[in-house]
Amino acid sequence: MDRIRNYLFVFAGNFAAAYMIFPERTTGKSVLFAILMLLLIVGMDFLKGKKGHSLERQ
């Protein structure tokens, strides 16, 4: 549940930043940017969790 909350905060932050950056002030581009960034972050978290910790000695 913590991950979902963190992902929602990331989505909201990316949406707000994109809304301020794009000169047209349209929600469509901002939502698209926020979704793409969210997919990138979720994918990176998934791959990181799948590989485990690379700095641990075995």
Write the pLDDT tens digit of every residue in 22-56: 888 788 888 999 999 999 999 988 888 877 665 55
Would the pLDDT of 58 be above 70? no
What pLDDT was estimated at residue 26?
80
Reported as half-sphere exposure (CB side, CA atoms, 13 A), residue 16 has a value of 6
DSSP the chain: -HHHHHHHHHHHHHHHHHHHHSTT--HHHHHHHHHHHHHHHHHHHHHHHHH--SS---
What pLDDT was estimated at residue 55?
57
pTM of the complete model: 0.74
Would the pLDDT of 6 be above 60? yes
